[in-house]
Amino acid sequence: MSQISRDTLLEHSLMALVEISSTITPSSDYSSLCQTLLEHALQVTSMRQGSLWLQEEGNLVCVASYPSDEYQQPPPVIQQVFTTAEPKYQGSIEVVAPLITRSKTIGVLSMNHAQDEPSPALISITSSWIAHMLDQMQLTLQVQAQQQQLQEVMRQQSELLSFISHDLRNPMASIKGYADLLLRRSARLAEDPNRRGLEIISQQVVRMTTLLNQVLDMMRLNNKQLPMHRRPDQLSRLTQHVLTDLMRELPEDTISLLESELILPCKIDSTRMYQALEYMVNGVFQYAVSTSPIIASLEQRGQEGILKLTNPGIEQMAAQQEQLFEPRFRTQRGETTAHTGMHLFMAQQIVLQHDGRMWFEQTPNNEWHFCIALPLSSDTNP
């Protein structure tokens, strides 16, 4: 065969491999894929018979053959090519080529009875093509196995979530109820040595319930099971509501809201967004070491409503923002350790589920802001 004829055949064979590759979709039926690859390899190389051998548990196993001959043990030449990773040619009678992918020999391709002496370049390309397709199949199967494992872990987490929800929250509710009952009875007495202890029990149950709710919400977020019921509301109204409540809980003059006539209508889950704003303010309060108050302000930028928190301590937050939103991130405030990351992680995730964003920004006069933005809606009625 002339060189021109060989080049033309090689070009046509390569085009055939490209077309074949586009029609083969890796599936969980590994045996069928191996048989399909072998038959296409025989077709492209004009061979009449062949077999495909792969290493399984340290042994070479015939995973496909055409015609459907059964091989119990690999012939010596198959084992030799696998060991040396060098192809063997016997004219037009037999070609044995290693299957190499990512610098590793995974098997052997054996073909024989060609119409003409096969091109070494075509054999090399064909064997590489088969090795690549098998490698992709293995990766697909590994991903599927990992997905199944992940689904099992998520199922177990859901079971744990159900256990926590029913078997821990109910007893704490009972403890809280009985503690409050005893407190009401204690209030009738002029002096009761148990009153302070009952107040601590009641307060700590509230704290434990809050932490438990945060853990439950975090697990729901990770499993994408946190329900969101978005309805028309106003960012201005919700911000005022959150800050008014926090002003009762935080030390005096800790936070203030600049007056604004903006309405900022948004379509949000008011309960969840209340949590996000509360987490955001608490995160700043726990992190900021400055005695200056946290200043909250509202503004509109394009089609977004913006809530900005301003405090000198925010500059320190911005310097660690890569860690700040990690659930396990803890920071020191005075002599106490604050779990800032849980608050800000939860706030960020809730804002993201509302198609919003959360970030730090620095003004030209070196003032730092901690901001969230929510898309505005046309409905102004909450």
Transcribe 105-148 into DSSP letters. EEEEEEEE--SSPPPHHHHHHHHHHHHHHHHHHHHHHHHHHHHH
Domain boundary among 158, 187, 222: 222
Mean pLDDT confidence for 233-262: 86
62 & 28 share domain: yes
Structure tokens belonging to residue 283 = 């995160």
Residues 28 and 141 in one domain: yes
Under 8 Å between Cβ of 281 and 309: yes
Q: In the structure, what pLDDT confidence band is assigned to residue 154 with cuts at 50, 70 and 90?
A: confident
Answer whether residue 161 is part of any domain. Answer: no
Specify whether 23 is located in the same domain as 63: yes
Band (328; pLDDT cuts 50, 70, 90): low
Whether 295 maps to a domain, the answer reads: yes
154 domain-assigned: no
Domain boundary (187, 222, 257) is at 222
Cα–Cα dist 344/129, whole Å: 49
Q: In total, how many domains does the chain have? A: 3
CB 243 within 8 Å of CB 306: no
Residue span of the structural domain in which 118 resides:
3-146
> Is 132 within a domain?
yes
The residue-averaged pLDDT of 273-278 equals: 89
Check pLDDT > 90 for residue 305: yes
Question: If you average pLDDT over residues 6-14, what whole number do you get?
Answer: 52
Bond from prior residue into 67 cis (ω within 30 degrees of 0)? yes
Backbone φ, ψ for residue 93 (5° rounding): -85, -50
State how far the Cα of 368 lies from the Cα of 284, in Å rounded to an integer.
12
Averaged pLDDT for residues 233-256: 86
Residue 382 lies in a domain: no
DSSP run (H or E) holding 263: none
Q: Are residues 263 and 370 in the same domain?
A: yes
Are residue 215 and residue 273 in the same domain, yes or no?
Answer: no
φ, ψ for residue 338 (rounded to 5)? Answer: -105, 140
Specify the higher pLDDT residue, 52 or 13: 52
Lowest mean pLDDT across 21-25, 139-143, 153-157: 21-25
Residue with tokens 């037999």: 94
**Residue 3's pLDDT is what?**
44
pLDDT given for residue 128 in this prediction? 86
Cα 131-137-141 angle, rounded to 5 deg:
145
Judged against a pLDDT cut of 70, whether residue 330 lies above it is answered with: no
pLDDT > 70? residue 282? yes
Domain shared by 259 and 241, yes or no: yes
Segment 75-129, tens digit of pLDDT: 889 999 999 999 998 876 789 999 998 889 999 999 987 767 777 888 888 888 8
Residues 359 and 251 in one domain: yes
Confidence of residue 138 (pLDDT cuts 50, 70, 90): confident
Binning pLDDT at 50, 70 and 90, where does residue 28 land? low
Is residue 5 pLDDT above 60, yes or no?
Answer: no
**Would you state the pLDDT for residue 381?**
60
E-strand ranges in the chain read 49-56, 59-66, 88-90, 94-101, 104-112, 231-234, 255-257, 265-268, 294-301, 304-310, 331-333, 336-338, 357-362, 368-375
Tally of CB atoms within 10 A around 166: 9
Taking 70 as the threshold, does the pLDDT of residue 12 lie above it?
A: no
Same domain, 344 and 235: yes
Answer yes or no: do 202 and 259 share one domain: no
Q: Are residues 106 and 176 in the same domain?
A: no
Provide the pLDDT for residue 372: 92
CATH code for the domain of 25: 3.30.450.40
157 within domain boundaries? no
Task: Determine the Cα–Cα distance for residues 17 and 12; give it in Å rounded to an integer.
Answer: 9
Q: Please tell me whether residues 264 and 347 are part of one structural domain.
A: yes
Average model confidence (pLDDT) for the chain?
Answer: 80
Which pLDDT value is given to residue 267? 92
DSSP state of 376: B
Residue 369 is predicted with a pLDDT of: 85
Q: Which residue has the higher pLDDT, 33 or 7?
A: 33
